Amino acid sequence: AAAMAVEALSRVPDVQIDGDGVFKYVLLRVRGAGALAKDVVRGHGWAEYHADLFERTAEELARHGLSCECLGGGRLSHRPEERKIHVYGYSVGFGKADHAVTTEKLKAEYPDYEITWADEGY
């Protein structure tokens, strides 16, 4: 079971965000069997609430035997033509994500981008 959990976790993308625009995001801790866990970023314009992102991701993960908890949320401003992503804001329901963690995840996914974050703004 542990080996399957490792494989299932490894297949979960660290970052899934929309290619352009300003939208809500959540920072989630995904757990497999045992103590295995990793943090992932999900941000999409279709989400009216941070909970929408959390619930849809939780449903997808459950099909692979994984669970997740929301560590917080915020907003992303993704400007691909400028190669910039700005992380800011918070989630009313889940609180503010650790934007520094989110920024590191985004930098790994978008190494040629300028990625900034701020605690101000909504």
For residue 78, the one-letter residue type is: H
24 marked as part of a ligand binding site: yes
Query: How far from chain centre, in Å, is Cα 114?
Result: 18
Tokens linked to 20: 């352009």
Catalytic: 50?
yes
Q: Which of 44, 50, 78, 86 is catalytic?
A: 50
Please give the Cα distance from 73 to 70 (Å, whole number).
Answer: 8
Report the alpha-carbon distance of residue 60 to residue 94 in Å, rounded: 20
Given the DSSP bridges, would you call strands 84-88 and 21-31 parallel, antiparallel or unpaired? unpaired
Binding residues for substrate: 24
Which residues are tagged catalytic? Answer: 50
Binding residues: 24
